[in-house]
């Protein structure tokens, strides 16, 4: 095996990111809460806690600082961020709000194993070693405890000298209530009014509450932020000097630098209108030689009211209903209450979060595969998703810098995503219910962007948009997944009638010549329409039929099942005849330029997406295994490029220069349309992962791993954020297809309707551990070949109730007690 190939199987350490890797930003924040990110310099960036995205949104004056004085020495005072990186090209230098002129740490190294992040600082001037650790609780199958609007932020300080060191760590934060951000993320405080910061202490919790008395609880601007601590020795300044010019920072820095203690300036009125205050909470300790002390902070927020809609254009317009509350308001009524919950449940939330992190990161998968799987969890905890008070879970496709981008749980994009279904199946079920119970008409047309909940509908011009063939069929397959993961018959019965209508609609709408293969005008995930028989929608139809057949059987609708079976068989046969070219499946068109934006003879990376889902969900082969294998290998052969320097792509560019990636399409046998379908020259991580997953299923392990590694190599913190795979927006939902790689590599099968799970790992079989999850429980599975050549196997349940589940692995079978 070559070195390159061997590397592919490495279960090594996760990457780390120096302070120069400024693209790296690790998201804190829960499901439906918004986020703040920790950058590789240890900086708090991208403030997205205000119910909309905020890439680049900065809060001035907002950072932690350290005062450290070794006995008998001068104090050293620094901002707890490593040095700013070039370029330094602002029109007016760095303003004081950036603290760019203050001394800061020499170096930093960020490490992230979701949901945990750490930043190790280095600085030769300081008499202490400082490490930042932070996380927002994350417990699969427990969305509520994974949806807390806040984070634990701990600074661990170790005395590296031989004398006692007096240490203060002070967190400063500007009060942003009522403020907005401009296009480049600068805070605009013109609408701030009556902002004030309180200091509060209540049993072991103390800290600052940032609030405004201007806004009513029912206003969108209403909210508060708490910066709190459980450390006993605190010092604080509720508001920096309200002066002219740079007085505020002068006074704060001189005050803190003197002895690490803060003087409260005793303002007894709120800040002026069009102004706001910055507050600082400090914690101090004497640290003995060799000793490590923890400075425990919590940052929590409470912005209950969000726009009752997808956007200003697509929202509830009825007066008094323009706003809607976040789910987290079911549990909390203030940022302080969130902090109290974090304090009261710290041990449990920490342990459960660690269980998950360890189960995933200590598994036998290659390090970059774990990275791909774990990093895209962030999508469901990013502003791409939101979660309403009534339990409704919603997702954009991704995010603009400042607003969600492409509305409506888009069926054809979310088709690819697996992460949410495997970790929080109840939320994924909620999406299916929205689709089938609200967005599917009686004649079976499913709006591929869900908007009824906001009294709206997705339009193309002045008409309701057409259905999306791939999205509509994929959604049927995904009901099958949700059902098999949870065994939730009630859920299944609720959506089943609409599913049947949906299949009826599909045949009427898209099979215009009654050969049971789609050939009409087929809108799809490329935002255009395919015409004629083609593998993307054709295979999806087969997958939907198989899923429906199984469900019909289960529900005792034998006749229906038989019809689906018959249609499936005919359709599959016909699709083969029409689209198999000996190497892969093509679109059948007499003249590829008859319509704009077709693929024709092109080798489409998505041609077997439906088949990949069928594998993941346990539906087996939809087309002849031999052809499927050949086709998926052809995709790799023709579409994976080792270097993009010579690739001419007039579309959007996600991969460039000497990077590697998988094209959406190529034309190895010619026949490229004059204007091939939009996106054909692009590279999407969501497609790369599902092709990788599929390659692994078909036995092309190295090819699959090669693709995964290429994706993650591109997200190296210098070029792109490892925790943000972009397509049409940040944290793009499609990237959650990466979870499929875990399922394929572990050979995990699940059927909660029969209480069965199976493992059949495809790599490192002799000593293999993996994370697994169903709607009932999650944990680890381990198999090892012992010295007698026999298999030692173990399933560990780390959360939930798996009692009665039968495990099949290594030719054995046992039931969890």
Residue ranges in 46-105 that form contacts with a second copy under rule CB under 8 A = 55, 77, 83-84, 86-96, 98-103
- Taking the C-alpha atoms of residue 618 and residue 612, their distance in angstroms, rounded to an integer, is 10
Asked if 314 touches a second copy (CB under 8 A), the answer is no
Helix (H) or strand (E) holding 131: strand 128-135
- Closest CB to a second copy among residues 400, 441: 400
Helix (H) or strand (E) holding 172: strand 165-174
- Taking the C-alpha atoms of residue 570 and residue 587, their distance in angstroms, rounded to an integer, is 18
State the nearest-atom distance from the C-beta of 645 to a second copy, in Å: 6
State the nearest-atom distance from the C-beta of 684 to a second copy, in Å: 10
CA 436 vs. chain centroid, Å, equals: 24
Asked if 247 touches a second copy (CB under 8 A), the answer is yes
- Closest CB to a second copy among residues 563, 656: 656
Residues 388 to 417 in contact with a second copy, rule: CB under 8 A: 398-401, 405
State the nearest-atom distance from the C-beta of 401 to a second copy, in Å: 5
State the nearest-atom distance from the C-beta of 99 to a second copy, in Å: 8
Asked if 728 touches a second copy (CB under 8 A), the answer is yes
Beta partners for residue 727, in sequence order? 729
Residue 83: burial class (beta carbons within 10 Å; 0-12, 13-18, 19+) = middle
Which one of residues 5, 191, 351, 596 is an interface residue with a second copy (CB under 8 A)?
596
Report residue 94 as tokens: 């760095």
What single string gives the DSSP state of each residue in 451-503? Answer: -GGGT---EETTEEPPPBHHHHHHHHHHHHHHHHHH--HHHHHHHHHHHHHHH
- Closest CB to a second copy among residues 634, 680: 680
Q: Please state, in angstroms and as integers, the Cα–Cα distance from residue 293 to each residue in 46, 192, 553, following that order.
A: 29, 38, 62
Binding track over 517-556 against a second copy, x by CB under 8 A = -----------x----------------------------
State the nearest-atom distance from the C-beta of 720 to a second copy, in Å: 6
- Closest CB to a second copy among residues 532, 729: 729
Residues 644 to 663 in contact with a second copy, rule: CB under 8 A: 645-654, 656-657
- Closest CB to a second copy among residues 441, 649: 649
CA angle 604, 536, 431 (to 5 degrees): 125
Asked if 675 touches a second copy (CB under 8 A), the answer is yes
Asked if 183 touches a second copy (CB under 8 A), the answer is yes
Instruction: Using the rule CB under 8 A, give the single segment among 182-190, 222-230, 529-537, 561-569 that binds a second copy.
Output: 182-190
Asked if 621 touches a second copy (CB under 8 A), the answer is no
Instruction: Using the rule CB under 8 A, give the single segment among 253-261, 294-302, 373-381, 634-642 that binds a second copy.
Output: 253-261
Asked if 239 touches a second copy (CB under 8 A), the answer is no
Instruction: Using the rule CB under 8 A, give the single segment among 171-179, 326-334, 339-347, 719-727 that binds a second copy.
Output: 719-727
What single string gives the DSSP state of each residue in 283-296? Answer: EEEEE-TT-EEEEE
Helix (H) or strand (E) holding 47: strand 44-48
- Closest CB to a second copy among residues 58, 231: 58
Which one of residues 250, 494, 521, 629 is an interface residue with a second copy (CB under 8 A)?
250
User: In 732-793, which ranges are continuous DSSP H helix?
Assistant: 739-746
- Closest CB to a second copy among residues 72, 674: 674
Asked if 265 touches a second copy (CB under 8 A), the answer is no
State the nearest-atom distance from the C-beta of 526 to a second copy, in Å: 10
* CA dihedral sign, ordered 722, 411, 741, 374: positive
Residues 106 to 125 in contact with a second copy, rule: CB under 8 A: 106, 125
What single string gives the DSSP state of each residue in 228-272? Answer: EE--S-EEEESS----STTHHHHHHHHHHHHHS--------SPPP
Which one of residues 13, 508, 718, 794 is an interface residue with a second copy (CB under 8 A)?
718
- Taking the C-alpha atoms of residue 620 and residue 543, their distance in angstroms, rounded to an integer, is 9
Report residue 722 as tokens: 């490892």
What single string gives the DSSP state of each residue in 779-791? Answer: EEEEEEE-TTSPE
Residue 575, classed as helix, strand or coil, is: helix
Asked if 786 touches a second copy (CB under 8 A), the answer is no
Q: Per the omega criterion (within 30 degrees of 0), is the bond before 87 cis?
A: yes
Instruction: Using the rule CB under 8 A, give the single segment among 164-172, 360-368, 424-432, 726-734 that binds a second copy.
Output: 726-734
The site that binds a second copy (CB under 8 A) totals a number of residues, namely 75
- Closest CB to a second copy among residues 432, 730: 730
- Closest CB to a second copy among residues 321, 596: 596
Asked if 727 touches a second copy (CB under 8 A), the answer is yes
Q: Are 564 and 506 in contact (CB under 8 A)?
A: no
Asked if 465 touches a second copy (CB under 8 A), the answer is no
Residues 22 to 51 in contact with a second copy, rule: CB under 8 A: 22-23
Identify the CA nearest to 426 among candidates 477, 472, 374, 485.
485
State the nearest-atom distance from the C-beta of 622 to a second copy, in Å: 31
Widest pairwise Cα distance in the chain = 90
Asked if 597 touches a second copy (CB under 8 A), the answer is yes
- Taking the C-alpha atoms of residue 189 and residue 214, their distance in angstroms, rounded to an integer, is 14
Identify the CA nearest to 20 among candidates 84, 111, 88.
84
């Amino acid at each position: 095996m070559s070195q390159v190939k061997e590397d592919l199987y490495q279960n090594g350490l996760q990457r780390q990111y120096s302070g120069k890797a400024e693209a790296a930003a690790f998201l804190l924040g829960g499901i439906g809460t918004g986020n703040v990110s920790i950058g590789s310099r240890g900086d708090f960036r991208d403030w997205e806690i205000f119910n909309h995205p905020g890439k680049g949104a900065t809060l001035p004056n907002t950072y932690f600082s350290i005062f450290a004085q070794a006995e008998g020495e001068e104090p050293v005072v620094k901002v707890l961020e490593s040095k700013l990186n070039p370029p330094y090209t602002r029109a007016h230098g760095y303003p004081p709000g950036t603290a760019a002129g203050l001394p800061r740490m020499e170096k930093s190294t960020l490490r992230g194993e979701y949901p945990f992040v750490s930043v190790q600082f280095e600085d030769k001037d300081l008499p202490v070693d400082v490490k930042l650790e932070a996380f927002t609780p994350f417990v699969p199958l427990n969305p509520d405890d994974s949806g807390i609007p806040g984070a634990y932020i701990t600074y661990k300080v170790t005395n590296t000298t031989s004398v006692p060191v007096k240490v203060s760590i002070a967190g400063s934060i500007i009060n942003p209530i009522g403020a907005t951000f401009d296009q480049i993320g600068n805070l605009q405080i013109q609408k701030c009014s009556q902002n004030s910061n309180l200091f509060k202490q209540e049993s072991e919790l103390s800290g600052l509450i940032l609030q405004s008395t201007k806004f009513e609880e029912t206003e969108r601007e209403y909210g508060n932020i708490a910066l709190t601590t459980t450390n006993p020795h605190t010092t604080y300044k509720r508001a920096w000097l309200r002066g002219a010019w740079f007085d505020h920072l002068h006074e704060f820095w001189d005050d803190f630098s003197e002895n690490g203690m803060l003087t409260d300036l005793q303002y007894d009125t709120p800040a002026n209108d069009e102004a706001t205050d910055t507050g600082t909470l400090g914690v101090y300790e004497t640290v003995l030689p060799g000793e490590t002390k923890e400075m425990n902070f919590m940052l929590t927020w409470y912005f209950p009211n969000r726009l009752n809609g997808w956007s200003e254009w697509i929202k509830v317009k009825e007066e008094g209903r323009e706003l809607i509350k976040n789910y987290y308001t079911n549990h909390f009524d203030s940022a302080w209450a969130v902090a109290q919950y974090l304090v009261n449940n710290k041990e449990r939330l920490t342990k459960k979060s660690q269980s998950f992190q360890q189960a995933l990161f200590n598994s036998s998968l290659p390090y970059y595969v774990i990275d791909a799987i774990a990093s895209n969890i962030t999508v469901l905890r990013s502003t791409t998703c939101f979660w309403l008070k009534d339990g409704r879970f919603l997702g954009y496709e991704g995010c603009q810098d400042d607003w969600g981008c492409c509305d409506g749980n888009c069926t054809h994009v979310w088709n690819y995503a697996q992460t949410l279904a495997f970790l929080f199946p109840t939320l994924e079920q909620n999406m299916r219910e929205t689709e089938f119970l609200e967005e599917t008409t009686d004649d079976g047309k499913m709006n591929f962007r869900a908007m009824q909940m906001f009294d709206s509908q997705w339009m193309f011009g002045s008409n309701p948009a057409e259905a999306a063939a791939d999205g509509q069929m994929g959604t049927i397959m995904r009901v099958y997944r949700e059902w098999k993961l949870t065994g939730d018959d009630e859920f299944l019965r609720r959506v089943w009638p609409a599913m049947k209508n949906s299949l009826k609609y599909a045949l009427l709408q898209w099979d215009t010549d009654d050969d049971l293969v789609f050939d009409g005008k087929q809108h799809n995930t490329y935002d255009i329409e395919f015409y004629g028989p083609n593998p993307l929608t054709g295979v999806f139809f087969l997958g939907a039929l198989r899923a429906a057949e199984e469900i019909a059987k289960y529900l005792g609708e034998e006749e229906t099942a038989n019809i689906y079976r018959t249609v499936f068989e005919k359709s599959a046969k016909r699709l083969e005849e029409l689209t198999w070219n000996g190497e892969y499946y093509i679109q059948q068109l007499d003249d590829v330029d008859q319509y704009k934006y077709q693929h024709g003879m092109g080798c489409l990376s998505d041609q077997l997406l439906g088949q990949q889902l069928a594998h993941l969900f346990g539906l087996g082969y939809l087309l002849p295994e031999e052809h499927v294998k050949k086709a998926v290998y052809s995709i790799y052969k023709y579409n994976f490029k080792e270097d993009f320097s010579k690739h001419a792509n007039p579309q959007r560019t996600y991969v460039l220069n000497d990077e590697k990636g998988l094209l959406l399409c190529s034309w190895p046998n010619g026949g490229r349309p004059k204007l091939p379908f939009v996106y054909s020259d692009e590279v999407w991580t969501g497609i790369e992962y599902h092709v990788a997953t599929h390659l692994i299923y078909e036995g092309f392990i190295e090819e699959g791993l090669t693709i995964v590694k290429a994706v993650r190599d591109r997200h190296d913190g210098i070029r792109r954020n490892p925790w943000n795979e972009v397509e049409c927006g940040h944290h793009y939902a499609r990237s959650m297809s990466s979870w499929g790689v875990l399922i394929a590599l572990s050979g995990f099968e699940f059927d909660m309707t029969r209480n069965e799970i199976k493992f059949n790992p495809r790599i490192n079989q002799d000593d293999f551990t993996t994370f697994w999850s169903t709607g009932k429980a999650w944990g680890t599975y381990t198999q090892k070949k012992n010295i007698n050549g026999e298999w030692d196997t173990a399933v560990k349940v780390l959360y939930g109730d798996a009692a009665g589940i039968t495990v099949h692995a290594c030719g054995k079978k046992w039931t969890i007690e």
